[in-house]
Structure 1
Amino acid sequence: MANTETDEPCNGFWADTARIRTGYLADVPRHLLVMKLSEEVGEVAEAYIGMTGGNPRKGIHATATDVLDELADVILAAAVPMVDLAGGPDEARRHLADRLGIVAARGTTATNSWHGSFIAPHVLLRHDDGKVLMLRRHNTGYRDGWLCPPAGRIEPGEDVLTAAIREAHEETSVILAHDDAVFCHVMHRTEASLPGPCHAISDYWFTFDRWQGEPRAAEPDKASEALWIDPETPPADLIPHCAQALAAIARGEAFSVHGWTADS
């Protein structure tokens, strides 16, 4: 059975921290102990500047040992209120161990880990003549000048359809009803620039034949114009994965992938 004292990286660290709290820091309010951290972090920066000569007026006036001392003080300054908040030295030690495990696991590719794709709702507003509404991206940092349908991200507490209706309203000013939504496609696509360990997004496409209001580019800082296109003969400046999705929808295909292989 492991000995928690001898296994501690710094033997007796948490017990000593608890004694410091109940000793000369006994009368210091907890909120001041937490605020003390900002002072200690500043002293780390000051020592590092002194070690590297970052201030030309002072030159090099500190050593690596000085920086290490200040870093240690940050750890100690954090440990004291941790004992308070956790409920004691043993609880603080366990919390730090749990947190270390979480942080150490970041970026790993363990076979038993779960990694998810982000979800992006897409909306096709469709006229009686079959044309669908597209927006010309502007000042977004991604495919500016290209066309795409109203689309976006899911906010906390939203399902994908609710998010689609909200995004369509924000981007085109129209009001949509849940009952008018027709699910038509999902595309699982990847690109190196996409976030997360999978670098992937699942695009959910919904078609609406009815809406309230006149569709327009309601966010001029993100879209320069709104225009209707024929989905069967899309313009060359339609974002490629959107063009692929429209073609799949026209064929009645509910699912496609993009970017995973050279021909997808």
Structure 2
Amino acid sequence: MANSEAAEPCRGFWADTARILDGYLAEVPTHLLVMKIAEEVGEVVEAYLGMTGGNPRKGVHKTTEDVLDELADVILSAAVPMVDLAGGPEEAGRHMARRLGVVSAREVAEVAAVSANGWHGSFIAPHVLLRREDGTVLMLRRYNTGYRDGWLCPPAGRIEPGEDVLAAAIREAGEETGVTLRRDDAVFSHVMHRTAASLPGPCQAVSDYWFTFDRWVGEPHAAEPDKASEALWIDPAAPPADLIPYCAQALAAIGRGEAFSVRGWAEER
């Protein structure tokens, strides 16, 4: 077997972690062992960007195996100071077992509580269309987000505590494009209820609320370059092929004057 494929003999996860601690990391102080976790998390992000092509300059240059390796390194980097702080591998293993029980019980309790009262919610995502006099609307090219990077979508996001959906839409548009919007200028345009296996919650569903603004203060641009690489104006009646599909469907529905649509449901007509 080649050296690159060789594996250390397995004595059990925590025993092997203790061997690492007592081996080449023996002289490393505890605070540096803890700080190393942050370094390893950064390497996971770098590998994931490399796998998804999130850095346009480098393109796709990593594999799923590379990401899995880095994730494993994060787990090991956290386990090493756990053994150190807990006082040994057995103690660290017992602490992990207790913590796993707490977390798993919390998740089960949350699902049970939702099921008991019969309510299952969909998340709400505000979307904003900034529309110029020529009818074109502003889109942002996603970058470094982990979802549909390289694709186009309008300013959009999530609702924060204390916000209604329109307040969230105005805030998100301001953060992402640098403009100032007024509630009185908002025109409700559409709501889409969509589902997909990748969406969160028990329903795996999101309700997208679309608002159109013909007036704003400021020059729209990609105000968060770490999340969007460019801003451009498109014709909503002839959107480019790299517009995220559910957004293209919503634009088409808005163009037909339809206030509501669904996407992804089994009984969709």
**TM-score, L = length of structure 1:** 0.62
Of the three residues 97, 106, 109, the one matched with 2:110 is: 106
Which runs of no fewer than 5 residues in structure 1 stay unpaired? Answer: 1-47, 59-65, 76-99
Runs of 4+ in structure 1 over 3 Å off: 100-112, 261-264
User: Does structure 1 residue 218 correspond to structure 2 residue 223?
Assistant: yes
- Three-state SS of the structure 1 residue aligned to 2:120 is coil
Describe the shift of the 1:259–1:104 C-alpha distance in structure 2 as closer, same or farther (beyond 3 A): closer
Q: Which amino acid aligns with 1:147?
A: L
Structure 1 residues 102, 250: CA separation in 2 closer, same or farther (over 3 Å shift)?
same
Shift of 1:54: 4.3
Q: How far apart, in 1, do the equivalents of 2:246 and 2:253 lie?
A: 11
Partner secondary structure for residue 206 of structure 2? strand
Q: Gapped runs of 5+ residues in structure 2?
A: 1-12, 23-89
Rate the CA distance shift 1:54–1:220 in 2: closer, same or farther, 3 A.
Answer: closer
Count residues in correspondence: 186
* Percent identity for Structure 1 against Structure 2: 71
Match of 1:107, SS state, is helix
- 1:190, CA displacement in angstroms? 1.1
Say whether 1:179 aligns with 2:195.
Answer: no
Q: Distance in 2 between matches of 1:219 and 1:103?
A: 34
- Provide the secondary structure at the position in 2 that maps to 1:174: coil
CA displacement, residues 131-184 of structure 1 (integer Å, 9 cap, x when unaligned) = 100000011000000000000111110110011001101000011110000001
The 1:137–1:101 alpha-carbon spacing in structure 2 relative to 1, beyond 3 Å, is closer
Moved more, 106-115 or 233-242: 106-115
Distance 1:56 1:219, change over 3 A: closer
Residue aligned with 1:217, SS: coil
Distance 1:261 1:158 in 2: 32
In structure 2, what residue type is equivalent to 1:105?
A
Cα distance, 1:250–1:102 mapped onto 2, change above 3 Å: same
Counterparts of 2:222 and 2:105, CA distance in 1? 47
Q: Which has the larger radius of gyration?
A: 1
- The whole-number CA distance in structure 2 between the counterparts of 1:230 and 1:202 is 24
Structure 1 residue 106: Cα displacement: 3.4
Change in CA separation of 1:247 and 1:106 when aligned onto 2, cut-off 3 Å = same
- Following the alignment from structure 1 to structure 2, what is the Cα–Cα distance between the partners of residues 53 and 169? 50
- Please give the secondary structure, in 2, of the residue aligned with 1:114: coil
Paired with 2:172 and 2:19, the residues of 1 have a C-alpha distance of 52
* Corresponding residue for residue 200 of structure 1: 205
Partner of residue 36, structure 2: none
In the other structure, the counterpart of 1:132 is 137
Alpha-carbon deviations, 1:196-236, whole Å to 9, x = none?
A: 11111110000000111111011111011111100000000
Whether the 8 Å contact between 2:262 and 2:268 is mirrored in structure 1 is no
Determine which of 10, 13, 19 is the counterpart of 1:56: 19
Counterpart CA distance in 2 for 1:102 and 1:253 is: 41
Name the structure 2 match of 1:236: 241
Give runs of aligned pairs for residues 72-111 of structure 1, distance below 5 A. 104-108=108-112, 110=115
Does the 8 Å CA contact 2:129/2:137 hold for their aligned counterparts? yes
TM-score normalised according to structure 2 size:
0.61
Task: Describe how 1:242-257 pairs up with structure 2 within 5 A.
Answer: 242-257=247-262
CA RMSD of superposed structures (Å): 3.2
The whole-number CA distance in structure 2 between the counterparts of 1:151 and 1:193 is 18
